[in-house]
Amino acid sequence: MSTKQDNNFQTIISHAKEYGFVFPSSEIYDGLSAVYDYGPYGSELKKNIRNYWWKSMTQLHDNIVGLDAAIFMHPTTWKASGHVDNFSDPMIDNKDSKKRYRVDHLIEGFAEKLESKGKKEEADALVEEMNQLLAKEDFAALKTLIETNKIGCEVSGTCNWTDIRQFNLMFSTEIGSVADATNTLYLRPETAQGIFVNFLNVQKSARMKVPFGIAQTGKAFRNEIVARQFIFRMREFEQMEMQFFVRPGTELDWFEKWKEERLAWHRSLGIAPEKERFLPHIKLAHYANAAVDIEFEFPFGFKELEGIHSRTDYDLRRHQEFSGKKMMYFDPEINQSYIPYVIETSIGLDRMFLAILSSAYEEQELKKEDGTSDSRTVLHISPKISPVKLAIFPLTKKDGLPEIGKELMEDCKTAFRCYYEEKDAIGKRYRRQDAIGTPFCVTIDHQTKEDNTVTVRHRDSMTQERIPMSEVKKMVLGAIL
Ligand code: ATP
Q: Do domains 2-69+188-357 and 388-480 have the same CATH topology?
A: no
The dihedral region occupied by 156, where left means phi > 0, alpha psi between -120 and 50, and beta the remainder, is: alpha
Residue ranges per structural domain of the chain:
2-69+188-357, 388-480
Backbone angles phi, psi at 377, to 5 degrees: -110, 125
Q: Whose CA is closest to atom 25 on ligand 1? A: 233
Mutate to test the pocket of ligand 1, among 105, 224, 238, 239 (most ligand atoms within 8 A of CB): 239
Query: What is the 8-class DSSP label of residue 351?
Result: H
Strand order through the sheet with 236-246: 64-66, 212-221, 236-246, 341-348, 301-310, 290-298, 276-280
CATH topology of domain 2-69+188-357: BirA Bifunctional Protein; domain 2 (3.30.930)
- From 308, 346, 356, give the residue whose CB has the most ligand 1 atoms within 8 Å, as the site to mutate: 346
The residue whose C-alpha atom lies closest to atom 31 belonging to ligand 1 is 348
Residue nearest to atom 2 of ligand 1 (CA): 304
CATH 3.10.20.30 for the 388-480 domain, yes or no: no
Residue whose Cα lies nearest atom 29 of ligand 1: it is 233
Q: Which residues touch 408 (CB under 8 Å, ≥6 apart)?
A: 392, 442, 444, 454, 469, 472
Amino acid, single-letter form, for residue 460? D
Evaluate whether 172 touches 186 at the Cβ level (below 8 Å): yes
104-136 in b/e form (b: 16+ CB < 10 A) is ebbbeebbbebbeeeeeeebeebbeebeebbee
**Cα dihedral 82/83/85/90 (nearest 10):** 130
Q: Please identify, by atom number, the ligand 1 atom nearest to the C-alpha of residue 309.
A: 11
**Residue closest to 263 by CA, chosen among 285, 293, 218, 240:** 293
Q: Please, is 251 exposed, middle or buried when counting C-beta atoms within 10 Å of its C-beta (0-12, 13-18, 19+)?
A: buried
- HSE (side-chain half, CA atoms, 13 Å) at 407: 11
- The share of the chain scoring above pLDDT 70, in percent, equals 97
147-193 tens-digit pLDDT: 999 999 999 999 999 999 999 999 999 887 666 666 789 999 999 99
At residue 49, the pLDDT reads 98
The Cα-based distances of 44 to 52, 171, 267 in angstroms read 12, 28, 21
**d(C-alpha 393, C-alpha 141), whole Å:** 65
Instruction: For residue 201, give Cα distances in angstroms to 74, 194, 197, 198, 306.
Output: 16, 11, 8, 5, 27
- Distance between CA atoms of 198 and 187, rounded to whole angstroms? 18
Average pLDDT of adjacent 10-residue blocks, the chain of 481 residues:
72 98 97 96 98 98 98 96 92 94 92 92 93 89 95 94 94 79 87 98 97 98 85 97 98 98 97 96 86 96 96 97 97 97 98 97 89 92 98 96 97 97 95 98 97 97 97 97 85
Ligand 1: list residues with CB < 6 Å: 190, 222, 224, 233-234, 237, 239, 304-307, 346-348, 350-351
Q: Are the beta carbons of 292 and 310 closer than 8 angstroms? A: no
Report yes or no: 199 and 327 within 8 Å, Cβ to Cβ: yes
Q: pLDDT at position 325, please? A: 96
| Alpha carbon of 148 to ligand 1 centroid (Å) | 31
φ and ψ at residue 389, rounded to 5 degrees: -95, -35
Residue 39 CA neighbour count, 13 Å, CB half: 14
Over its C-alpha atoms, the chain yields an Rg (Å, rounded) of 26
Residue 282, pLDDT score: 80
Q: How far is the CA of 308 from the centre of ligand 1 (A)?
A: 12
Residues 6+ apart with CB under 8 A from 347: 53, 239, 240, 241, 262, 294, 305, 306, 307
pLDDT tens digits, one per residue of 445-468: 999 999 999 999 999 999 999 999
129 Cα–ligand 1 center, Å: 24
